[in-house]
A and B are shown apart, each in its own frame.
Chain A
Amino acid sequence: MSVSVTTPSPGAPNFYYASDTALGGIVSAVGLVSSTSPVPLWALEIDNTLNAVPVYVKLWATFAAGVVVGTSPPTMQFSAPASKKQTYSFAGRGPNLTAGLALTDFGWACVLEPGTSGLTAPTAPVAVRILFQQDPPP
């Protein structure tokens, strides 16, 4: 079981940071501060140093409660090689995580299988951190 925590990034208005110390095969919700603005990603770190196989972090631009891991097609997917901490950094605004819908949260999970199918959680904990931006609510 893991918990995603979203906090404002100190000194950087509209930037928010979410982390999960053991993201697994059950979708976890990342809370948003604005329900309508897009969520450009700025950085993502996947610490897979404890696992000897690659892992895949999947993001869903929909309410986390409606996501079925292994069935719902992920909006975005990133990987971390075996036994490695992988950092993704985006120069300028990164890809937007948005469905064009009003969302109060988005979902993420970490599994051993790429693509839509697969819901096998990593054997050892995978810590994941994400830095994203949201404009303040109107």
Chain B
Amino acid sequence: MSTVTSRAKDYGLADVSCNIDNVGVSPETFNIFMGPVTLHTLTARFEKSSGLDWACYLKVYDSLSPKVGFGLADPLWILQCRSGETFTMTFPDGYTFTNGISLRATRAGGSGTPGDLAPEGITKVTLLGRKS
């Protein structure tokens, strides 16, 4: 289950930030910025809680939803997140998402349904962007 805990636009700021306390696999976190956005930073951290998996795979989509019909769209990015380590991606000039940003976190890389299970832990993501 994912929850968007804050949005900078709620406070009248041009930049938009979102904290997602746990990116899920189903339901996924979809259309976070409510449409097109230029992304400036992405920070992610995975905390393993049980099981054997020492990493999760954060999948980032330029789409309103990761789902297409009964299938899954191909992700724009696939990021391996090792448990207990935080990383931040920065784009000084921004990376434009023409449709919107949607996220999923799974146990395996690649795309489609193989390994499409919820990670054995919590995946936290913070995004900072600017509405297009």
Contacts and interface: CB of A to CB of B under 8 A. Distances in A.
Interface of A: 38, 40, 61, 72-79, 81, 86-98, 100, 113-117
Contacts of B88: 90-92
Contacts of A40: 87
Given A95-B87, A116-B114, 5 more contacts: A76-B79, A76-B80, A81-B96, A90-B89, A91-B89
A114 B82 contact: no
Contacts of A73: 108-111, 114-115
A61 B109 CA distance: 10
A77 B112 contact: no
Interface stretch (B3-11, B70-78, B123-131): B70-78
Given A73-B115, A79-B76, A91 B109 contact: no
B80 A97 contact: yes
Interface string B46-61: 0000000011010000
B78 A75 contact: yes
Contact of B89 (A74, A94, A96): A94
Contacts of B90: 89-91
Nearest to A80: B95
B77 A79 contact: yes
Interface in B68-126: 74-82, 85-92, 95-96, 108-112, 114-115
Nearest to B110: A73
B80 A95 contact: yes
A93 B111 contact: no
Contacts of B80: 61, 75-76, 95-98
A69 to B, nearest CB: 12
B95 to A, nearest CB: 7
B74 A113 contact: yes
A95 B74 contact: no
B110 A74 contact: yes
A87 B95 CA distance: 10
A116 B110 contact: yes
A114 B109 contact: no
Contacts of B89: 88-91, 94
Given A73-B111, A73-B115, A91-B90, A86 B95 contact: yes
